[in-house]
Structures are given as C-alpha cells and as structure tokens.
A and B are shown apart, each in its own frame.
Chain A
Amino acid sequence: MSTVAGYVEPERVTDSEERTLARSLTIRYIVASTVIFFVSGLLGALMRQSQSDIYRLDDNFYYAVMTAHGLGAFVGWAAFAVMGLSWWVLSEVGFPLGRLGAALARLAYWLMIVGVGGVVVTTLFFGFAGSWVFLYPLPFESAGQWGDGVTGAFSASVLLVGLSIVVWCVAILVVVAGPGLRSPSTSRVNRVLTAMGFGILWPKRFPSERPVPYSVIPLTVIAIDMIIATLPLALLLIVMIIQSFAPGISVDPLLAKNVLWWFGHPVVYLLLFPAVAIYYLLVPRIAKRPLVAGNIIAVGWTIAVIANVTVWAHHMYLDYPNGIQAAINTTMEPITFALTIVSALSLYSLLFTIYRSRWVWTAGSTALFLGLVSWLLSGLSGVINATIAFDNFVHNTLWIVGHFHHMALMNIGIVIFGAIYAFTPSLLGRPLYSDRLGLWHVWMTFLAGTAVSVVWLIQGLDGAPRRFAVLPEQYDATNAALIPLVAVLGLTQLLFVWNMYKTLRGHTSAATTRDILAGVPRPRLTSPSLQGFAMVATLLAVTGLALAGWAIGRAGADDVPDAYVPAVAELPSDATPTEVGGQLFITEGCGACHAFSPAGTTGNVGPSLDTIAPDAERVAEVVTTGLNAMPAFGNRLSEQEIAAIAAYVSEPAEP
C-alpha cells in the first residue's frame, strides 16, 4: 500500500494463528498493566492527600505506599504495558513470535504478575518501606518497622520482576533474529546486529531482504541492554535473600548502590525504547509518510546500546568518598550527554515526519504528539539532572520527582494510551466507542499531569526534599495546589475506563453516528481555531484550579516563618530545668524516635515515654550512655543539660 508521499505500510504477519497469538498476548499484558496502573495511581493520590494533610498516613505506611507506588507504576504499569505492546508492534511489522517467543512471552507475563503481587503484599501488608531503590543496607535497618523475613520476601518479589524483564529480553531477541528478519545470515550474532540496524550502515555485511523496520531497532537495543543491566541486580537480590536468614553476610553499601543504579538507569529506557518503537510504527502511518531518518539513526542507536549501560553513576553524582567514584561520576556526564543525542535524533525524525503532513488528529494521534511534547520538555529537565553542577542542587529534591513523572507519565504513559486507542480496531476487531471521549481523556491527562509535574519542579527549585512523608509548612500552599490537579488527573482516567468498557461491550454508537452523519454539513468543531480555543480554555481552567488551591492553602497558613527545624525562643536566664529540658527535647530530635505527649511527638522507633514513664535517674543514665539503638548523648550534652532533659521527661511520672 503506497501513498503519494511514498509511505509504504510495513508488511504485517500474515499467518492468522500467529496474529491471534500476538493479539491475545498483547491484550493480556495491557489488561494486567492497566489494573496495576489504577492501583498505583490510587496509591499516588493517597500520598498526595497525606502530604497535603487531609488524612495523614502513619509515617511507615506512607513510605510503604511510596515503595509500592514506585515499583508498581514504573515497572508494573509503564514497563509492563510497553513490554506487552511490543508484541503487537512486532506483529505489525512482520515478525512472528514463533513457539519459543510465545512461550517466553507467557513466562515473562506470569513472572511479572507474581513479582508485582509480592511487592504489593510485602509493602502494604507487611510494612516493607525501603523505597523502590531499597538502598542497601536500609532493608535490614528498618528501625523496628519490618523484619528481615519481609526484606527477604520483598527481595524475592523484585527478583521475579527482574527475571520477567530478562525473559522478555530473551523473547525479543529470539523474535527479532527469527524468520521475520528475512536475513540469509545463519550467525545468531550477525542476525541480532542486523536487527539493531547495522544493515543501514553496512548493507553487505548485514543483509536482509527488506530494510529492517525502524521499530525493531530500539526493541533489539533494549533487549540486549536489560540483560546486561539486570543480572548484577539479580545477584545483589539473591545475596539479600540469603542475608535475610543468614545475617552474617553483608555487602559494601557503595558497591550495592552502584549495582542498583547499574540496573536503575537502563530500566528507565525499558520504558522509553519500546515507546520509541511505537512512535516509529505509528507516527509514519498516521502522517502517511516514511520516517524522516537518515543513516545517522543507526549511529544513534549504536551509541545507545553502549551508553545506556555506562551512565549509571549519574544517579550518584553526590557520592564521592574517594577519587575513583568521583572519576566515574565525571566520566558519566559526557556519556549521558551522548545518550541524549539519541533522543534528540529520534525527536527530530518523528517531529519532522509530522511536519506539514496529512496528520489526522484522533485520540491516538493526539496522544502520540503530546507524548513527543513531553519527551522534549522532560528530556530538557533531564539534561539539567545530567549536569553535575546542576544536580549538585536538585539531587533528591522534588525537582527530580517532577522530572520523572513528566517523562514516565506524560511521555511513556500517554503513548501507552495513544497506542491502545490507535491499536483498538486491529486488536479488538471493532472501532473505539468514542474518539471524542478519547480526545478529552488525552488532553485532560496531558494538561493536569503536566501541571502536577511543573508544581514539583517549582517545589524542587525551592529546595523541597523528595521522599518526605511530612514536608515543612513552607510547602503547604504548593501542596494544596496539587490536590485539585491530582483530582482532575485521577477522575479523567474514568473517561478511559468508560470508553474501553463501551468499546468492549461492542457499543459503537459514537462511531456509527459519525458514519450516519458523513456528508451532512456540520459546524466545523474540529477547526484549528476552535481546537486552539478549547486548549487555551482548558489550560486556563486547570491553572485556575491550581491557583485556587494555592490560595486556599496560603490562606490557611499562618504568618510565622516556617522552617525544617523549628526555631526556639531564647529562654529567660531564670528558666526552670524543666523548661530547658523541654526545649532540648525538641532541638536534640528526641521526638523523632519517642512519643511523648507533653512535647506532642509521636515517634515510634524507640519506646513511648508516655508508656514507660521513666524516672529522672533512668532518663539521665540512658541519655548519657545510650541503650540498644539509641545513641549516647554523653559527649554532646553537658551534665546540666542531661539533668534538664531528665527533669522534663520524668515530670509526668513524678508529680
């Protein structure tokens, strides 16, 4: 099928059994990942409202929710969904799965389901709250919140997720080097390199009967990289499982951190590269024009396969205990920049394929375009993170949270929805119930999601830390602004559910109505100016909601300057020991671990001082010399100061 612009639709897999196989596998991955999306999304909303102090979660539960949300949304939803969509992309460009490919795809599916299930259970029900990066040795230093057995079970669950990724990679390599490649070469290595696009540069050395479809290249690249990236992490997880019942074993924390990020960076591209495969397939199809790409695209992807596994330390720019780590970090800044070039080239190709094309703005195509918008804008904030001098400030602030939600939700996520909309007719064999509803879903998700990301970017530039269950009061106003935005973002997803429900029920009323009305003159609701107006109006509405939230939060805040550490008033010189002790109790941070109602603290790491009600002598003794996990304060505080704390803490017990 050729058009005026020279677009040739890639030849699909023709065998109907193969098509059915790819179809059912894809649908299975999409349904499961979408369920995980809704669960993780709700967990995200739960954290948002807690930080805005609507219903405050218990601290450890907050961090457990954060752990489940991170792994669930990132791997269980986004990665899992694009992993599934890859099967359909491959089928669309003529790569049959074959028996081995299909068996591995099924195995990867079940490993992921069981792994994510294990993560949800160990976090939400057994309190594992080590965050999704579970920086060693935090999983074994829970401050009494969860046991080593839970850490073992959590590690095993993540190991299953990792195995799912590795199995998926092997399946991808089996399929791309399989008969779909149509290469005469018998060498497996040569076939994989052909699938990586080497034939574009050296057609004689890497021959194939037809040019390798562009979509195959990023899939091959990520399949190679994720095997390299995941195996060391799998080893660390196995050591952690062993340590959970043999406490004598341990790993150097800095080495463990390197291993974690050795996986943690490429896993980001496990989301991006299959999404690029979707772009490479759908953007030319919608634009009815071949992908605007020169030979340099093959150079770009060759850089990617190497650079992707040699940039991990850009997550560790602020770890520099010795010359070696600092040298690794410094080397990885230019390598990260090189990896950026791949995105820059892909964005060029895709955007100029759209430029002045016969692009039709449906729900699916709009989502793809908005995905490109987010890819560009969040890629630029990623360049900031990649620059050591800038990361020096933004590291572990909410800027980072803004950046990766912008990238994962507004680029990858919206492409997942776009692909679901665009593939619906071929996947489900029936048209989408309502494209208009889909457009609303896509636009509202884009606007609210981008606004949420921007609020985080702003909070981060203001120095707000990430992973704080309770942010200091100076962020109350911006936290309040997030509430309406998150509400819009969440409720908008119901449009998607309704649309898919009606589509699956076989309702095509919207589509049928369109057919009936074809040819009947209608007001041009789709004119660019009206669309532009709708876009601006929605943007204003969303901004208005945000400002309203901000104003409400602002009005509710008092005028006292807020701070991380509450400033203490100068005590009069005749202050009683109890008064001095009360102040020291706060400034020394006793309340972080101990609940004590006169001080209004709720720490649950150490024993509650209300319950054990120690006498002054006991307090002085424990504060001076320490006890179990409690550090000694003998060389921090003077004897008078310790006596003052003892007087303050023992006062309720000694009326």
Chain B
Amino acid sequence: MNPTAFAITILYAVVCVVAIVILLVIWHSTHADDSLSDQVDTKRLAHGEKSWFAIAVAALGALLLATLPFIPYGDTAAAEGQQRVAVDGAQFLWTIEPDTITAGTPTRFTVTASDVNHAFAVYNDDNVMLFQIQAIPGHASNIVHTFDEPGRYQVVCLEFCGVKHHEMLSTIMVEPT
C-alpha cells in the first residue's frame, strides 16, 4: 500500500470511530426520560460551542502544520546528478523520453500535454500508485522521484481525456545501477 494511503486509512478510521461514538451517544440520549430533557441547559450547550470552535481550529491547525512539509511543490528544481525525462501526453499516448532510467538516482520528470489535460501517474508492478501530477497543455510541470527498486513501472493517465482515457497507458523500465 502507498504510505500516504496507509496514513489516510489509519487517520480516517480513527476519526470515524470517534465520530460514530459521539453520534451514538446523541442518538441514545433522545430515548432518555422526558424529565431529563427538561433539565438540559441549552444556554450552557450554546456556550460550549465556543470551546468546540477552539478545538476544531486547533485540530485543523495541527493537521495543517503536520502535513505542510509533505506538499509536493518544493523540491522540483533542476539539480546536479538528476536524470531528466521528458513526458508528453496526447490522446491517447504517452511519449516518454527516455523510457529507461536507472534506480537510486533522482529522476526529474518534466510533464506537459499537447492536446487536452492529462495526468501522469506512475504505479509500480504491484499496482501501487507512487506519484501523480497533472499534464496541462501549454504548461510544463516538474516532479522529482527516486526509484529505489529496478523493474517495470506502469504509467496511467489519471485525468479524464476522452473516449480511450482508460487505455492511455505506458511503461517505464528502471534498471539496476
């Protein structure tokens, strides 16, 4: 499994369990005795909304700070020692030059499209997605990835590009150093 997908699975499962417990408590509370419901101080509950506001802001702030280091925009500059690969998407064909690279060395993909929007996604041979980036006509985007394992990698188009979108596939061969 892709490590990001794994992190999402764990995080989403945990917050869902917490949310479901809260929802069950609220659902169950409506079956309580009516006299209990008369004792509820709705003003106090409304006051609690401010605490909830603070909790929500803090939780989202923490998520923001924890994930910002992982945004993909930072490290795509050209640098010494990179392998360079030019990627061009066209209905319904990838042109990847060169399509054979070596493992262990960072590879800088410069991705564009010559007709419509495409997305350049690379999966390993076990169908695990490694990375993806949009391919935009008239604009070039860069993404740097280091392939650790030699082998065959699958290129899949991930932006809907027309009738044969799902057959817009290719491969990259990664050779041992």
Contacts and interface: CB of A to CB of B under 8 A. Distances in A.
B12 A380 contact: yes
10 contacts: A60-B163, A145-B163, A253-B138, A348-B52, A352-B42, A564-B123, A589-B93, A589-B168, A603-B167, A636-B97
A563 interface: yes
Most buried by A among B16, B19, B119, B162: B162
A372 B27 CA distance: 11
Contacts of A384: 8, 11-12
Given A257-B117, A329-B73, A5 B164 contact: no
Contacts of A469: 165-166
Nearest to B160: A467
Interface in B33-67: 34, 36-38, 40, 42, 45-50, 52-53, 56-57, 60-61, 63-64, 67
Contacts of B40: 5, 289, 355-357
A536 interface: no
Contact of B38 (A4, A292, A354): A4
Contacts of B119: 318, 395-396
A65 to B, nearest CB: 13
Contacts of B159: 135, 396
A481 to B, nearest CB: 18
B67 A322 contact: no
Contacts of B91: 141, 143, 605, 629
A356 B32 contact: yes
* Interface bracket on A: 35 or more
Given A5-B37, A318-B119, A356-B37, 8 more contacts: A253-B139, A289-B40, A321-B136, A355-B26, A356-B36, A384-B8, A564-B169, A592-B167
Most buried by A among B32, B71, B129, B171: B71
A463 B32 contact: no
B65 to A, nearest CB: 10
B95 interface: yes
A387 interface: yes
Contacts of A326: 73
Contact of A292 (B8, B42, B162, B163): B42
B83 interface: no
Contact of B163 (A129, A257, A296, A457): A129
Interface in A131-186: 131, 133, 135, 137-138, 141-143, 145
Contact of B132 (A143, A318, A591): A318
A631 interface: yes
Interface in B140-163: 140-141, 152, 154-156, 158-163
A138 B137 CA distance: 11
Interface string B70-103: 1111000000000000000011110101000000
Nearest to A380: B15
A565 interface: yes
A376 B19 contact: yes
B38 to A, nearest CB: 6
B171 to A, nearest CB: 5
A591 B167 contact: yes
A388 B154 contact: no
Contacts of A359: 30
Contacts, number: 285
Contact of A605 (B36, B56, B125, B164): B164
B9 interface: yes
B12 to A, nearest CB: 6
Contacts of A137: 115-116, 137
Interface stretch (A229-237, A332-340, A642-650): A332-340
A357 B37 contact: yes
Given A5-B38, A142-B162, A390-B8, A396 B141 contact: no
B2 interface: yes
Contact of B12 (A252, A373, A381): A381
Contacts of A141: 91, 115-116, 162
Given A131-B160, A563-B127, A395 B132 contact: yes
A493 to B, nearest CB: 25
A496 B19 CA distance: 29
A294 B49 contact: yes
A487 interface: no
Interface string B1-17: 11011011101100110
A104 B118 CA distance: 41
B51 to A, nearest CB: 10
Contact of A253 (B15, B38, B117, B168): B117
B31 A296 contact: no
Contacts of A376: 19, 23
Given A358-B34, A388-B71, A143 B162 contact: yes
Given A141-B162, A389-B67, A392-B70, A461 B8 contact: yes
A129 B91 CA distance: 14
A138 B116 contact: yes
Nearest to A373: B23
A331 B114 CA distance: 29
Most buried by B among A59, A387, A604: A387
Interface in A303-355: 316, 318-322, 326, 329-330, 333-334, 337, 340-341, 344-345, 348-349, 351-355
A392 B45 contact: no
Contact of A294 (B12, B46, B164): B46
Interface string A468-486: 1111101000000000000
Contact of B170 (A462, A563, A589): A589
B158 to A, nearest CB: 4
Contacts of B16: 377, 380
A223 B141 CA distance: 37
Contacts of B29: 354-356
Contacts of A562: 127
Contacts of A349: 46, 49
Given A293-B46, A563-B125, A341 B8 contact: no
A567 interface: yes
Contacts of A348: 48-49, 52
A138 B11 CA distance: 36
